[in-house]
Amino acid sequence: MPRFNIHHITRYTYEGPVRDSANQIVLFPVKDEYQEVLKHDLTISNDPVLEVHKDYYGNEVGSFTSAEPHTSLTIDSKVEVITKPRPAVVDFMDPQEQWAQLGQLKWQVPYIDFLKQEQFASLAEVLASVCPDRSQTPLQAAVQLKTYIYDNFKYIQGVTSVETTLDEVWKLKAGVCQDFAHMLLVFLREIQIPARYVSGYICPNRNGMRGEGATHAWIEAFIPSNGWVGLDPTNDCFVGDLHVRLAVGRSFSDCSPVKGTYKGTAGQKLEVGVSVSYENGVAGDNEVAVMAEQPTTNESGTVDGKNSYQRYLEMMQQQQQ
């Protein structure tokens, strides 16, 4: 069973002193039969009082405030976790019987939330492109859609932000794991497969999988005879013991590792670093959590005064020069 040591640092730096900072963190790994948390050290600058509760989806959520003026905020999380293999996915039931079972979940808790569609003006265009055949089983349809995203969307860091809309991602055909996960959620929910967003980490140990060195995102689809099945469209794979889960929810908003508000100057810089070392004591490519500046948005919802599509066009032009 793999054992991972994960170091996750989040640092905000403000242009001037800010105060009355109220924050929420979702940095507590899931504890269940597939994931054992051996140790978790969490350090927050200025040592505020941290209150932890479980939210509607069963995630551990921490809340804290920093009333005194400060020019930076650092959240340092160190986790030692063991992951365990999941049962093999099975697909032996008749397709029509499976679709009929899914149809009965439409008004049942907890599936209602995970069937509610996100706002997406291009949905009709999407369906014309990728709607699977109902002669397939739900599992076959979900795998097909996962692979469609992997094959047709470019993985480009920095081209989107947390404010980028699904319509922009669809137009760009590019983004990062968060964007790929949201797109797959839309596909699956439209064909009545309950699907939920998952945040966490991927620990590939130099095997070429995308997403190491940062938080990762994927989805879980509810498949008859299997329950919640993890699908990673960024790497076109089933989720297994290389994925460490932090939280589940309807979308990124429910699982955001860190979010908050404060009083003071609007200017800020966000840096995030994630490193992973493995059970044999050998570190991954990111031996030290290297801080990387993250795209942030202004009041108009643009990044550095430009939307993500403008940024994408600029990146493509630079690559062609």
Give me the number of domains the chain comprises.
2
Question: By percentage, how much of the chain surpasses pLDDT 70?
Answer: 85
My answer on whether 70 and 101 are in the same domain is no
Write down the pLDDT at residue 62.
98
DSSP E strand stretches across the chain: 3-25, 35-44, 51-54, 60-66, 70-83, 154-155, 174-175, 195-202, 216-223, 227-232, 237-238, 243-249, 258-264, 268-278, 292-293
Task: Dump the DSSP string for 55-104.
Answer: -TTS-EEEEEEE-S-EEEEEEEEEEEEEE-PPPPP---S-HHHHHHHHHT
pLDDT for 279 equals 64
Shared domain check, 153 and 106: yes
Evaluate whether residue 201 is within a structural domain. yes
Contact 290, 274 (CB under 8 A): no
Round to whole Å and give the CA distance between 65 and 134. 50
Task: Flag whether 65 is in a domain.
Answer: yes
- pLDDT digit string, tens, across residues 222-246: 999 999 999 999 999 999 999 999 9
pLDDT for position 290: 57
Render pLDDT for 99-152 as a digit per residue (tens, 0 to 9). Answer: 999 999 988 999 999 999 888 888 888 877 777 888 899 999 999 999 999 999
Beta bridge partners of 198: 218, 248
Q: Is the residue at 88 inside a domain?
A: no
Same domain, 119 and 45: no
Q: Which residue has the tokens 């940062």?
A: 214
User: What tens digit of pLDDT does each residue of 251-277 get?
Assistant: 999 999 999 999 997 788 999 999 988
Phi, psi of 254 (to 5 degrees): -75, -20
Q: Please, are residues 219 and 297 in contact by the beta-carbon 8 Å criterion? A: no
Whether 29 is covered by a domain: the verdict is yes
Q: Residue 242 sits in which domain range?
A: 95-250
Q: What's residue 134's pLDDT? A: 82
Type of residue found at 312:
Y
* CATH number of the domain enclosing 192: 3.10.620.30
Q: What is the mean pLDDT of residues 45-58?
A: 95
Q: Are residues 194 and 51 part of one domain?
A: no
153-198 pLDDT tens trace: 999 988 888 888 999 999 999 999 999 999 999 999 999 999 999 9
